[in-house]
Structure 1
């Protein structure tokens, strides 16, 4: 088998046009017809990237859209370790080939999107147009439909010993590329749109302030991740007051602030602020000219301690402060 391969290789080398180089690599180029990727020399011959980063960049560029290219997926695919692959990904990010962005979905969750750019210099210049052509296979067209048959001409006798002429090959139809609108890639230096400010009530009454503070402080009862500091609660009170002023029920506000939280939420106060701003309901029709709604003060009911039967104020039954401290020390 090895002899056959060497013979085929020798025959292929003899068919190369021009003289062969006396040293260095010899390219035996066989055109690809399927499953190939066009890679620029700026990546394959990059002078500042490591060989691992170049190979990883070529691999990622050859993958179809939607393939996972996270560190865990690449470690499971290749023999290189996590540190080597992480370092190669950072090299590609440094030179603009790889971009990892945190994007917020409509439900408030944060996800990481990975973008690989085959020509980062064009993106940095600004105004780069990305086209995504799709090749549509075309069935072979009969020869009779490509060109009409010509009338037979006079028969010319070939001289003896002349080589026979090979029949002309059938014309190959050109693949039709589907037209797509150009996709504009935003420049990395483009200014970001300003963030919307936190909603403000028309009048922050003491009743609204107390109700909004109690609602924000009690969010951790419904979502243990939303533990807000006193400073954050004081900052977010106007946003909740604007919801209450628009006659939003406290249960509806809690549901909007605690449903489908990203795991784990790194910045609970920022999540609450974003949802208070982005999900603010419109005022009810006909209430724009009404005076501000004065809500009843929040009254915390009395509860009897399940352990010592002493009375204490809390929204739900349980233990008083002294019993909670003793149970915590005992545990």
Structure 2
């Protein structure tokens, strides 16, 4: 069996037109006659879609109309789990390939319709109306000739055996019908697109990046300390190996952190903790974290003095125990509670 497969592969390679490449993939293209689906390169080679999303899109595109393409239905057919399938469907929905619409039926039941478009970029612009073949222009009615007065035909001598000719009346031309005004026909309005994608177009303006922080004054001491910090960073995190130009560009940002009394080990831990894998641009990541994670300036002397000021004290009324009912109540002096005072006052009033 191995020999037959190798022979078939060799025969197929010999039929590939042109010289074979020395590296890379070699395509053996056999024509499909049944059970195939046309997939565009914009989907198969999409730069922002994951391979899982591309595979799910091809699977959905190959299914017939009315097939179930929910998360559980796809998980029953694919090896991926429900979480990966749900993430792939969200990617396709973000890039316009998939849309899920909720509709209410006449019976009141709400259903979800799933619409898949194999070319979402074609829906960004409204479709042009179908071209109508030009019709030949109707010929304008020729102006009718003016009426000609009737003339008596000259008498022709006829033989005696033949009957006299019957006179023929020449009809007059009918007057032309009045032309009615014709209203101009407006061109058909272009049809609206099926749906508008949720993601903005790639040409949408982006917010400008925040500049790298700088110290109030880049002193020689701060410059030397920041340069030494960045040059020594690769010993603690090997993936953060910087070039000389990167070090010079990042020195003001590190100096701004040192000026705010942040310890070097704290800066190193904040900048190099949990980097993405693989890390392609370490200098860009350091510039982003130096800008976005910049700590606040240390408080001044007046602010610290405000913290040390004594807070105003509040007088708290102590608890007392009633001499009659032993009930606790708040009062600056011992004695009786309010109920006992009212009872004593009522007794004294009655006795008087």
**Which structure is richer in relative contact order (CA contacts within 8 A, separation 6 or more)?**
1
TM over 0.5, yes or no?
no
TM score, norm. by length of structure 2: 0.37
* Largest Rg, 1 or 2: 2
